[in-house]
Amino acid sequence: MLKTFSITDIGKKRKLNQDYVFSTTDKVGNLSNLFIVADGMGGHNAGDYASRYTVETIVKEIENSFERNTIKIIEHAVEVANSSIRERASQDPSLFGMGTTLVVATLIGHHMQVANVGDSRLYVVNDQITQITRDHSLVEEMVRMGGIDRETARCSLDKNIITRAIGALDTVDVDFFNVDLKAGDIVLMCSDGLTNMVEDQEIQEIIAEDMSIEDKAHKLIDRANENGGKDNIAVILIDPFADSTSITGGIND
């Protein structure tokens, strides 16, 4: 039985929460379930508007889609959201330059389809932690090209410069990943407010602890804040093969 819990937190330094999550184990259109993390960017109110509006647009498009192919369903919804964000920004000067990262996932049994734009992430965690998504960021490009190593990248002042975002350009390039899940796997979707504050190994150790999925999510948020809480934090945890009844939840501070 699929079990999930979602939460966002404003963190310790920001005055606005620009992270937005959507989590449901119910059908959305032709998808069996749907999970989304968006981390908005922009001036006053623009970032939180971008993340919320993008997620709401994607959910609506998926609900109304007659398409059966999962990738096509998600890709079309993301393209519509990108165009809509661009149009809204052109109409309202206060929203100029807004955008958002995006991670989308849907599960069917042991299979998961993932899409991402930007540097919010999806991991599969078991006895180790594996990042499924690939960051669309300047430092990640430098790592792939061999310019800097992974540890240097983590401390780089340029680590928050992203190379793709919803709303950045007239067209959006979406990465897709197919993942086979096994018993014991936990899926983590999160914004960089978590991963910039908590090392991957510590995330894995928290998720491995013997406590409820809700407590694990809260502990991840608490640890990010203990380590500085420099950004908003968004977390969705999914246990694809939980025996107990599904739980969905969310807190927006």
Which residues does residue 130 pair with via DSSP β-bridges, in sequence order? 124
DSSP conformational letter for 19: E
Residue 158 above 90 pLDDT? Answer: no
Considering the chain, what percentage of its residues have pLDDT values greater than 90? 82
User: Residue 143 has what pLDDT?
Assistant: 60
According to the per-residue pLDDT averaged within each range, which of 137-146, 192-201, 244-253 is highest?
192-201
Confidence class of residue 140 from pLDDT cuts 50, 70 and 90? low
Q: DSSP for 114-172?
A: EEEESS-EEEEESSSEEE-S---BHHHHHHHTTSS-HHHHHH-TTTT-BS--BTSSSS-
Q: What pLDDT digit, counting tens, does each position of 33-67 carry?
A: 999 999 999 877 899 999 999 999 999 999 999 99
Enter the pTM of the model: 0.91
Q: What pLDDT digit, counting tens, does each position of 208-221 carry?
A: 999 999 999 999 99
User: Residue 137 has what pLDDT?
Assistant: 72
Residue 224 above 60 pLDDT? Answer: yes
User: Residue 246 has what pLDDT?
Assistant: 37
Average pLDDT, the chain: 91
Cβ-based burial of 45 (10 A; exposed 0-12, middle 13-18, buried ≥19): middle
The helix or strand, by DSSP H or E, that contains position 176, with its residue range, turns out to be: strand 175-180
User: Residue 152 has what pLDDT?
Assistant: 60
Confidence class of residue 251 from pLDDT cuts 50, 70 and 90? very low
Residue 75 CA to residue 116 CA, distance in Å, equals 10
Number of Cβ within 10 Å of residue 64's Cβ equals 9
Residue 178 above 70 pLDDT? Answer: yes
Residue 16 CA to residue 98 CA, distance in Å, equals 14
Say if CB 176 and CB 114 are below 8 A apart. yes
- 210, two tokens: 């013997």
User: Residue 51 has what pLDDT?
Assistant: 98
Q: What pLDDT digit, counting tens, does each position of 87-125 carry?
A: 999 999 999 999 999 999 999 999 999 999 999 999 999
End-to-end Cα separation, the chain, in angstroms: 29
